[in-house]
Amino acid sequence: MERPSTNNQQPTTNFETIAVRTQTERTQFDEHSTPLYLTSSFIFEDAEDMRASFAEEKEKNLYSRFSNPNVTEFIDKIKLMEGAEAGYAFATGMAAIYSTFAALLSAGDHIVSCQSVFGSTHTLFTKYFPKWNINTTYFKAENSETIEDLIQPNTKILYLETPTNPAIEVLDLEAMGKIAKKHNLIFIVDNCFATPYLQQPIKYGADIVVHSATKLIDGQGRVLAGVAVGKADLIREIYLFARNTGPAMSPFNAWVLSKSLETLALRVDKHCENALKVAEFLESHPNVELVKYPFLKSHPNYEIAKKQMKLGGSIVAFEVKGGIEGGRNFLNKIKMCSLSANLGDTRTIVTHPASTTHSKLSDEERNEVGITAGLVRCSVGLENVEDIIADLKQALD
Ligand SMILES: *Cc1c(COP(=O)(O)O)cnc(C)c1O
């Protein structure tokens, strides 16, 4: 890739230092914080400089659809945090996911995917990819030992999210990595819910990690963004697809996100501390039937979560008594927390999938993807946890 990399990467694998100290080369002004490079293109000294740059004989920014110093800084941080060789950043998480598949697949290829994936990813698999004769077979999180039976001669990709949205199931990355390797599949993980601070799928054999950086990576509900990192040869294909089709991240968003990453560890630590307390409170409440949080002992995949995640994450799912109406009543009584479609924000957000995002499905179809009638998803924020619990308690009481 022709883009120049950041020059003052620290010789460390410590997450917090990488997040703070990975920085684009300083300009002649010796600024401390990285400036914003709002420029669509870059200039060349002469015809030879231009030729060599386009021929990728030298590392140089050419045009901000291909690379830009702010975007590069953001990519380099995520790349180091995930332990990846290379990366490319996108305007949204869906642009990252779509471009990854579109770059790596051909007509006739087959995907094996976990059934509970992000809604728009599910729509890509069921509505759009079949138009190009790319088909997907789903497995359920609880039957992941049957994946090998689903692999066909034309299967090219094994895809999953963990923890899943909104049912908060946890899949065993090590076991999945081994299956992908054995069958020579490209193993892709959407690591959005965990972030690289809690879990690094590449350690378990993931070839590509994708993120919606809109969520915890920004963490402050300001920008939409996505990123894909992983093996250099695969990222090269994704990069070439993206530079020609145009889903690039804006330099402004990259500048915001690079700053966001400096506090990712701090924020995620606190999100997880609050989320565990919220989960424990919910488990003790008589109007709650079931609580799903990876670091609760009652979670069916508690042991796997403990093995692969540093902490339990920021999302708690729980079942309010009273079905659809119970869930709707609970949302109507909430006072402080936000009713919003986002997650991973500083503000606590509650949603009721059965009456909103998944309202068009039948009860049976919803149960199929782990969404029961009274299921509430709570993205636990950074308010004082006593205030979060007090709001949830008054709505449940
Ligand atoms: C939000 C989300 C996406 C899509 O990201 P956008 O930035 O909204 O395009 C993909 N995967 C997961 C798990 C998400 O939560």
- What was the pLDDT predicted at 9? 55
Give the helix ranges, DSSP H, for 199-289: 232-245, 251-262, 264-283
Q: Which mutation among 192, 249, 357 tests ligand 1's pocket best, with the greatest number of atoms within 8 A of CB?
A: 192
Among residues 190, 224, 188, 226, the alpha carbon closest in space to that of 207 is found at: 188
- What was the pLDDT predicted at 7? 54
Q: Element (H or E) spanning 227, and its range?
A: strand 226-230
Q: Cβ distance 115 to 138 under 8 Å?
A: yes
Tell me what the mean pLDDT of segment 289-318 comes to: 97
Q: Which mutation among 94, 211, 260, 342 tests ligand 1's pocket best, with the greatest number of atoms within 8 A of CB?
A: 94
pLDDT in tens, 161-200: 999 988 899 999 999 999 999 999 999 999 999 999 999 9
Sheet with 186-190, strands from edge to edge, namely: 86-90, 226-230, 208-212, 186-190, 155-161, 110-114, 135-139
- Packing angle between helix 69-82 and helix 251-262, nearest 10 degrees? 40
pLDDT at 219 over 50: yes
Give the closest residue (by CA) to ligand 1 atom 11.
118
| Least confident residue range of 54-68, 107-121, 144-158, 359-373 | 359-373
Ligand 1 in reach of 348 Cβ (< 6 A):
no
pLDDT in tens, 67-110: 999 999 999 999 999 999 999 999 999 999 999 999 999 999 99
pLDDT at 10 over 70: no
- Say which amino acid occupies 73: E
- What was the pLDDT predicted at 4? 57
Tell me what the mean pLDDT of segment 293-301 comes to: 97
Tell me what the mean pLDDT of segment 103-131 comes to: 95
Ligand 1 in reach of 253 Cβ (< 6 A):
no
CATH class of 7-261: alpha beta
| Higher-pLDDT residue of 336, 341 | 336
pLDDT at 216 over 70: yes
Q: Cβ distance 105 to 125 under 8 Å?
A: no
Distance 81 CA to ligand 1 centre (A): 19
- Ligand 1 nearest-atom number relative to CA 226: 7
Distance 295 CA to ligand 1 centre (A): 23
Tell me what the mean pLDDT of segment 369-386 comes to: 92
Tell me what the mean pLDDT of segment 356-374 comes to: 79
Task: Output the six-digit token pair for 90.
Answer: 């996108």
- What was the pLDDT predicted at 109? 98
| Least confident residue range of 3-12, 157-166, 203-212 | 3-12
Q: Which of 207-216, 334-343, 365-374 has the highest mean pLDDT?
A: 207-216
Ligand 1 in reach of 159 Cβ (< 6 A):
no
Give the closest residue (by CA) to ligand 1 atom 12.
118
The mean predicted confidence, pLDDT, of the chain is 94
- What was the pLDDT predicted at 2? 44
Task: Sketch the domain layout of the chain as residue ranges.
Answer: 7-261, 265-396
Q: Cβ distance 323 to 329 under 8 Å?
A: no
- What was the pLDDT predicted at 228? 98
Ligand 1 in reach of 172 Cβ (< 6 A):
no
Query: Topology of 265-396 in CATH?
Result: Aspartate Aminotransferase, domain 1 (3.90.1150)
Give the closest residue (by CA) to ligand 1 atom 7.
93
- What was the pLDDT predicted at 71? 98
Going by their DSSP bridges, the two strands 315-320 and 288-292 should be labelled as antiparallel
pLDDT at 1 over 60: no
Tell me what the mean pLDDT of segment 285-299 comes to: 96
CA distance 114 to 391: 34
pLDDT in tens, 242-289: 999 999 999 999 999 999 999 999 999 999 999 999 999 999 999 999
pLDDT at 30 over 90: yes
CA distance 110 to 99: 16
pTM, to two decimals: 0.95
pLDDT band at 11 (very low <50, low <70, confident <90, very high): low
- What was the pLDDT predicted at 362? 77
Ligand 1 in reach of 100 Cβ (< 6 A):
no
Give the closest residue (by CA) to ligand 1 atom 8.
93
